Structure 1
Amino acid sequence: MIYGIGTDICDIRRIRETFERRGERFAEKVLGPHEIEVFRERFARVPARGIAYLATRFSAKEAFSKAIGMGMRMPMTWRACEIVKAPSGKPGIQLHGALAEWFDAKRLSAHVTVSDESEYAAAFVVIETRD
């Protein structure tokens, strides 16, 4: 059964401007341990790809927080929710700490998709109950 649905669209230009003002501190606030490594690799090769990656992760976390119905308040934090990629390329959600415990206690599972174009990143999340 569906527990919640969340969607978000994000202006990549706004993410780029914030990154230019705040530097890598901004990426470190939004991205989890695995994500920050991927971001650094992509940004080093092609900065625009790194920024697009950051924007898609920002958007997916916003969509996830809406789908679980709590927004950005504990136990939901930017770094406790990571958007990871399966070997097939399919995106998934990996949770950490108190957020993972809360999610498991509620017996929930998550599905996510992300997309980006030159100016926008978008994400859609569906949360289901496991039974």
Structure 2
Amino acid sequence: MILGIGNDLECIDRVKQMLVKLPKITTKILTPAELTVFLELSPKRQGEFLAGRFSAKEAYSKAVGTGIGQTVSFLDIEILNDTLGRPYFSHHPLEDECHAFISISHTKEHVATMVVLEKIK
């Protein structure tokens, strides 16, 4: 049974500007494992990566129905990539209750994400 669906769209340049103004924002959005991946990327890819993770975590919080805030924080959610490069939730607040599926798509200017939460039988 589907428990929730969330989506989000972000402007990559907006996130890149945020990164320039507030370099420590990465530690507010990315978990230590995500930050390790981020730091290995070129500056161009860093902006895309951060925008993707930001958008994905926003989409997750919308699927939960709470948004980012008191119930769910950015650091409660961890998204890594498998050996084929596909993103997956390695940790999320409802992992004992549901499976979380994610899709992240980039264009030159935007990143769009979709999250589906499915109840564990």
What is the one-letter code of the residue matched to 2:6? G
Q: CA RMSD in A?
A: 1.2
- TM (norm. structure 1) is 0.87
- TM (norm. structure 2) is 0.94
Identical positions, percent? 36
* Number of corresponding residues: 121
Map 1:103-122 to 2 at 5 A.
103-105=94-96, 107-122=97-112
Structure 1, gaps ≥5 residues long: none
In structure 2, what is the equivalent of residue 20 of structure 1? 20
1:95 Cα shift? 2.0
Runs of 4+ in structure 1 over 6 Å off: none
What is the one-letter code of the residue matched to 1:110? A
Give the structure with the higher percent helix.
1
Map 1:76-91 to 2 at 5 A.
76-91=72-87
What is the one-letter code of the residue matched to 1:3? L
In structure 1, what is the equivalent of residue 90 of structure 2? 94
Helix, strand or coil at the partner of 2:75: coil
Structure 2, gaps ≥5 residues long: none
Candidates 63, 67, 70, aligned match of 2:63 = 67
Helix, strand or coil at the partner of 2:112: strand
Once the two structures are superposed, residues 44-74 of structure 1 have per-residue CA deviations (whole angstroms, 9 ceiling, x without a partner) of: xx21111100000000000000001111123
